Structure 1
Amino acid sequence: MKLEGCAAVVTGGASGLGEATARALAEQGVKVALFDLNAERGEQVASEIGGIFCQVNVTDEASVDAGFAKARAAHGQERILVNCAGTGNAIKTASRARDTGEIRHFPIDQFDRIIQINLVGTFRCIAKAAAGMLTLDPMEDGERGAIVNTASVAAEDGQAGQAAYSASKGGIVGMTLPIARDLMGDGIRVNTILPGIFNTPLMNGAPQHVKDALAASVPFPKRLGNAPEYASLAVEMCRNSYFNGEDVRLDGAIRMSPR
């Protein structure tokens, strides 16, 4: 796909993997709309890349609809969607408190929250972007658009306490090929990246010795991933028209331990 002049939506675009992807797409001449909750940071990034910011909660249908409407009014119908919005938690399915011996289980509302943000939120944006892409004239090879999703290596080797997170990311992996097949007749490609341990704002609060230990657990290179490396792969998935229906780990060959 020729990227220059295309319009794109990047969810979670105000920071981390989403910000890096928004910047990388803008460098290719793409008109980028950022979907995020962080208005201050989102407006700043959008201003720096010549894009537009849309304050969007991916769990809210009306908010997502308003975001797409604003983005399309400014840039036209997007041919590219990159889903980076997401979050996580660490709660065991059932556990015993060390101090009191009290037995507790995973709060179901917290499980549902992760599923709603990571999995349902991703699918909501996919469905709405794909419907819009169907209105576009086809490009070379009959291509109308490209969608890139963000899962995690936890989809395949989740650690203790990651039941909700792994379920949400496993769902993204599981729906990639069916959605690509749903859209194949209309020239819309769908791929998913499974990042390993990346140096993003989510990691900023971790002590340095924790970061060092995580970096040492990566076979090669022995460091955390950097957001531009994710962005590079996301851009290639958009550019390369033969990239379709794939789930690709980007992790330095790490396989996560149980804890």
Structure 2
Amino acid sequence: MQIQKNSFLVTGGASGLGEAVVRALVAQGGNVIIADLNESAGQALVNELGDNARFVRCDVTSGDEVQAAVAVAEEAFGGLHGSINCAGIAVVQKLLDRENNPADLEAFSRGVNINLVGSFNVARLVASSIAKRVANANNVEKNIDQGIIINTASIAAFDGQMGQASYASSKAGVVGMMLPLARELARHGIRVMTIAPGIFATPMMDSIPEKAREQLESGVPYPKRLGDPNEFAKLVTHIIDNAYLNGEVIRLDGAIRMV
């Protein structure tokens, strides 16, 4: 699938990995709906990028808000061709605290709801929009991409650390739903892929002390540094372009394995 003149919904698109994806898509001539809760950052990005971008305040767990973002894409750009879901949170808590009190169930559920249920919510509404567009089109060629859904998991889906029960299980769920969705959506010409990033230099890392950051970097075999969001965005654009990538998860982590 080409990026130029096609339209993509990017959740979490106002900062971090999502912002890098937004910039990469617009740079290649794509249209982007930036779906995020951060209105000031999202609107500032739209003002910078121009007519190829729109901002919609969006909670990925809300069917109405995601549908509204899809509607903006349909109205502004004539349809939607894919989504890159970068919205997510990291819930850190042990099952038992030092006094053996149990973890907060609401916090656990919130992480799963945003990371996993939110990813499914975006996928279902984007896929519906694409499938309806394809159904209404004339002379749709077989084996020609009609859409792409890219979800963001994490290496925690495979190498979850202590205190990451909510985060790791939610990201493992994102990986687990990928193949069933890819198989189902194949008849519509829609591919489904997942990226599992390692430790990236995003705003989430800004609060970490320098010594802790250096320790994280030292754990990456090569290159011995945190990932650059632009490297994530490059993988996204390659996945969009490469039609034979479907139903697979790609680790983007510098060969790190968390212990």
With the shorter chain as reference, the TM-score category is over 0.9
Residue correspondence of structure 1 range 42-121 to structure 2 within 5 A: 42-50=42-50, 51-96=53-98, 102-121=99-118
Task: Encode CA deviations 1:98-129: one digit per residue, 9 max, x unaligned.
Answer: xxxx3211111111100110000010000000
Q: Is the 8 A contact 2:33 2:55 kept in 1?
A: yes
- Alignment partner of 1:14 is 2:14: yes
Contact 2:70 2:129 in 1 (8 A): no
Gaps of 5+ in 2: none
Contact 2:112 2:167 in 1 (8 A): yes
Q: 1:186 offset after TM fit, Å?
A: 1.2
Does the 8 Å CA contact 2:144/2:189 hold for their aligned counterparts? yes
Q: Aligned partners of 2:79, 2:118: CA distance in 1, in Å?
A: 20
Equivalents in 1 of 2:251, 2:100: separation in Å?
A: 36
Amino acid at match of 2:110: R
TM-score by length of 2: 0.95
The alignment partner of 1:104 has SS state of: coil
Q: Equivalent residue for 2:172? A: 170
- Contact 1:33/1:46 (<8 A) preserved: no
Structure 1 unaligned spans of 5+: 97-101
Contact 2:8 2:80 in 1 (8 A): yes
Instruction: Give the Cα separation in 2 of the matches to 1:43 and 1:196.
Output: 28
Task: Find the partner of 1:241 among 240, 243, 250.
Answer: 243
Query: C-alpha separation between the residues in 2 aligned to 1:185 and 1:141?
Result: 10
CA RMSD of aligned residues (A): 1.1
Normalised to the residue count of structure 1, the TM-score between the two structures is 0.95
Does residue 1:145 correspond to 2:176, yes or no? Answer: no
> What residue identity is the alignment partner of 2:146?
R
* C-alpha displacement of 1:65: 1.6
SS at match of 2:183: helix
**Structure 2 Cα separation of the partners of residues 7 and 200 of structure 1:** 25
Residue 227 of structure 1 aligns with an amino acid whose one-letter code is: P
Residue pairs, 1:123-162, within 5 angstroms: 123-134=120-131, 135-136=133-134, 137=137, 138=140, 141-162=143-164
Amino acid at match of 1:237: I
1:235 and 1:143 map into 2 onto residues whose CA distance is: 14
The answer as to whether partners of 1:142 and 1:186 remain within 8 angstroms in 2 is no
- Give identity over the alignment, percent: 45
SS at match of 1:169: helix
Q: Any runs of at least 4 consecutive aligned residues in structure 1 with deviations exceeding 3 A, and if so which? A: 137-140
